[in-house]
Structure 1
Amino acid sequence: MPSGRVHNLINIAAYSVLSAGVLLVTREGHLSVTPLQALHFSLGFFVGTFLLSPDLDLAEGRVDSKRRWGLLGFLWVPYGMLCRHRGLSHTWLLGPLTRLAYLAVIAGLIVGLLRFVWPDVPLPRLPQPISLKVVVPLLTGYYLSQWLHLIADGVRPDHGLRQARREVRKRC
């Protein structure tokens, strides 16, 4: 299995090749990508690569993604305890979603605590409505970074299904 550093290099190389390809195709007029869409894709991709890696399921130990959170890295320890390594967190669709959901729960708890302790605290608001022109590139970049990690780990897209089938067979 590649180390965290190798995963990052794979993702950066893939991002560079993809960016060059998209730039060429866009210049030829076959595709239209706005600078804002490219920025949102890049943001999702690099957050997925450096902050929300599938290896956060090892957050009880030294994991690069947890370390990059700085003082807030401890927030990922419960995630590491909830998800066994290469379990649900290493599935192609639900794995990336578990990290986003976990982050949303943590943010909700922090906002709830702030509202309880300091009811008049001004909090940033999400723009309403949230545009698909923002969400789609963000999620595409995020999921692509996660999938590159899983490919490097040798995890096939049917990983979660194969695991569920094995557990059913054990019980029957």
Structure 2
Amino acid sequence: MCAVPSGRVHNLINIATYSVLAAGVLLATRQHLLTVTPAQALNFTLGFFAGTFLLSPDLDLAEGRVDSKRRWGLLGFLWVPYGMLSSHRGLSHTWVVGPLTRLAYLAVIAALLLGLLRFVWPHFPLPGLPQPFSFKVLLPLLLGYYLSQWLHLIADGVRPDHGMRHVRRKVRGRG
């Protein structure tokens, strides 16, 4: 097995890819080959950089020193259980489900914190989704997030069928 890039190299790969992609989109937009609104560009960028710097697939190592965990500052400890629940390069390093596990984990943490707030302060106003909330908002966020995750997996040498091969291996071992 070949060596995988450090967190710093992963970040440089993602930043370089984002720069080339942004330049290409800007050129295509100026030549009227593509239409991208400022809101779509911002949402893509937010998703991409959140995935690169805060929600890296390497959070499955969160009980150790992981750049993504450190970037959460004092809240970095919240990712330690995720790291303990995930085996490195297991489900967290799959192409579709892996990124979803981090989003789902974050949603569970947010729900627990909101539940605790409501318990302590029953009249605490719950935040709502920004209106209008649409697919046009969600799609660029998810595209940016998933692209950042896939670049990480490509750099690690993780193939798109990684999750299926892992499952097949487990099934064969039981057979």
Aligned counterparts, 1:138-157, within 5 A = 138-157=141-160
Instruction: Report deviation, 1:126.
Output: 1.3
Give ranges in structure 1 of 5+ residues lacking alignment: none
User: Which residue matches 2:138?
Assistant: 135
Encode CA deviations 1:47-82: one digit per residue, 9 max, x unaligned: 000000000000000000000000000000000011
- The letter of the residue matching 2:145 is Y
User: Which residue matches 1:67?
Assistant: 70
* CA RMSD, 1 decimal: 0.8
Once residues 50 and 99 of structure 1 are traced to their aligned partners in structure 2, the CA distance between those partners, rounded to angstroms, is: 13
Aligned counterparts, 1:109-120, within 5 A = 109-120=112-123
Instruction: Compute the TM-score of the two structures, normalised by the length of structure 2.
Output: 0.96
| 1:96 matched to 2:104 | no
User: Which residue matches 1:46?
Assistant: 49
User: Which residue matches 1:23?
Assistant: 26
User: Which residue matches 2:88?
Assistant: 85
Once residues 74 and 85 of structure 2 are traced to their aligned partners in structure 1, the CA distance between those partners, rounded to angstroms, is: 21
User: Which residue matches 2:8?
Assistant: 5
Instruction: Report deviation, 1:124.
Output: 2.7
**Aligned residue-pair number:** 172
**Stretches (4+) displaced over 6 A:** none
Give ranges in structure 2 of 5+ residues lacking alignment: none
Q: Helix, strand or coil for the counterpart of 1:45?
A: helix
Q: Helix, strand or coil for the counterpart of 1:21?
A: helix
- Structure 1 vs Structure 2: percent identity of aligned residues? 81
Instruction: Report deviation, 1:127.
Output: 2.1
Q: Helix, strand or coil for the counterpart of 1:60?
A: coil
Instruction: Compute the TM-score of the two structures, normalised by the length of structure 1.
Output: 0.98
Encode CA deviations 1:101-154: one digit per residue, 9 max, x unaligned: 000000000000000011112343212452111100000000000000000000
